[in-house]
Chains A and B, each alone.
Chain A
Amino acid sequence: KAGVTQTPRYLIKTRGQQVTLSCSPISGHRSVSWYQQTPGQGLQFLFEYFSETQRNKGNFPGRFSGRQFSNSRSEMNVSTLELGDSALYLCASSPVPFYEQYFGPGTRLTVT
């Protein structure tokens, strides 16, 4: 089985722009979670989706949003980018929530 894939792997954006990141889960996995990792804050939970529904959300501003499609692929969007949004964004999939998660390689976003 192919692993979790994330696109793009690297991205450079300017303050004020918006960005969309994509995550394709392992085939058959219906739960997708997103995380942000920064040197200062470490790993933080962003959202969790299951069967196209957001079932859990971390403590992030409304500029961070996401969705999941019927094929379980997920996207996250960050609007009005700030310098502090520079981070590694990781997604992880599992068959259902509360199961062991499989992580993608991440998208490294740099905001200048």
Chain B
Amino acid sequence: KNEVEQSPQNLTAQEGEFITINCSYSVGISALHWLQQHPGGGIVSLFMLSSGKKKHGRLIATINIQEKHSSLHITASHPRDSAVYICAVRFNTDKLIFGTGTRLQVFP
């Protein structure tokens, strides 16, 4: 069965903290996406991964295919990072399933 679990559901941090958001999935995948959604609804695609690790600025995304797990890290968090982060998994069945999202609030 194609399932995606994301944690934590909510996350509060102080500015400068290191943030980790996790995403686990049930079976084989062709790609995993990390998305960012700001209040008002706009969604930005942060990363698309099928293996290894990607970095963009203060954001790092990793995926472990054997463990069926991906993490999104934010280094030196900033209030402007406050948003909902969503993982989306495209399974080998070609089905696309979304995690429930992690609401991040970073306080100055």
Contact = CB atoms under 8 A, between A and B. Distances in A.
B69 interface: no
Contacts, number: 48
Interface string A78-112: 00000000001010100000111111011010000
A90 B100 CA distance: 16
A11 interface: no
Main secondary structure of the interface of A (DSSP, over half): strand
Contacts of A48: 96
Nearest to B99: A42
Report the contact-size class of chain A (Cβ under 8 Å from the partner).
20 to 34
B44 A103 contact: yes
Given A43-B86, A43-B98, A101 B45 contact: yes
Contacts of A88: 41
Nearest to B42: A105
Nearest to A48: B96
A45 interface: yes
A105 B43 CA distance: 7
Interface in B51-108: 86, 88, 90, 94-101
B97 A42 contact: no
B98 A42 contact: yes
Contacts of B99: 42
Contact of A98 (B31, B88, B97): B31
A44 B45 contact: no
B48 A108 contact: no
A42 B101 contact: yes
A23 to B, nearest CB: 14
Specify which of B42, B96, B100 lies most central, judged by the most chain A CB atoms within 10 Å of its CB: B96
Contacts of B30: 98
Nearest to B46: A100
A45 B94 contact: no
A99 B50 CA distance: 11
